[in-house]
Amino acid sequence: MVFRVGLRTLSPPRVAVKTLRRQIVTTVQEWITDHVQPPSEASGSLATEMTKRTTQEEQERRQRQEEEAERRRQSELAAQLAEQLQEQTQADAQKHLVAKEIQYKAARRRAQSDAREDVPECLGVMYLADPLCDDVRATLPLEVHAIEFNSKYYVSTQGRRKLGQLEAEIRRLMNVHHLNLLSVLAVRVSYPHLGPPRLTILSEQRPALTLQDVSEDCDRLREDKASVGSCFP
């Protein structure tokens, strides 16, 4: 672009020439600023793409670092929680074992104390009984053994359980039959409202003279007389 400026051949002062030149330069600069725009860089140029790619890679790298740091933090937190839970579980289990042992020892001391309390010299009362049968010749002499448990222990849940186990064991003896053994015919544990628990056993009547009676009356008893042989074949 060429600008033509016409000057008249005069001999003005130097100051006027400098002022005129300055005005010309200013006018040209203003015109260039208003009418001439620098070419803009294409949006798809290599430099722009490289800049965008570098920025994106940097953002992705930072994001990966942040995610990795978060995973490590979560893993450490989970490990700490698991360790605390294990320690708490072990402490609770230890407390449970200690409490159970204390409870067991207390129950054992209470059972021993109740067992030593009010121990009678004679276990129960023996009654003679006759079965209800029309044929007198078919009847057998029977007896009833009644035992009362005056200890407060046998009113508790644990004491009732022991009496139930005792009743079950005696009930199993009802299936044992032999000529040299007295048969157990019935057994029952009752809990009266106004009295202590009672164990009642119905069995065949014992003979009038037993080996124990003979041994108590004799100072000496020969082996051949004392031996009764095996009860079972």
Q: Where are the domains of the chain?
A: 48-115, 125-208
Dump pLDDT digits (tens) for 187-198: 999 998 888 999
28-37, 110-119, 142-151, 203-212: range with highest mean pLDDT: 142-151
Instruction: Share the mean pLDDT of the chain.
Output: 76
User: Which pLDDT belongs to residue 113?
Assistant: 57
**pTM for the complete prediction?**
0.40
Q: What is the mean pLDDT of residues 166-195?
A: 89
pLDDT at 168 over 90: yes
Interval 41-71: pLDDT, tens: 555 577 788 888 888 888 898 899 999 989 9
Q: Is the pLDDT of residue 128 over 50?
A: yes
For residue 204, give the nearest of 167, 233, 176, 163 by alpha carbon.
176
CATH 3.50.50.60 fits 125-208, yes or no: no
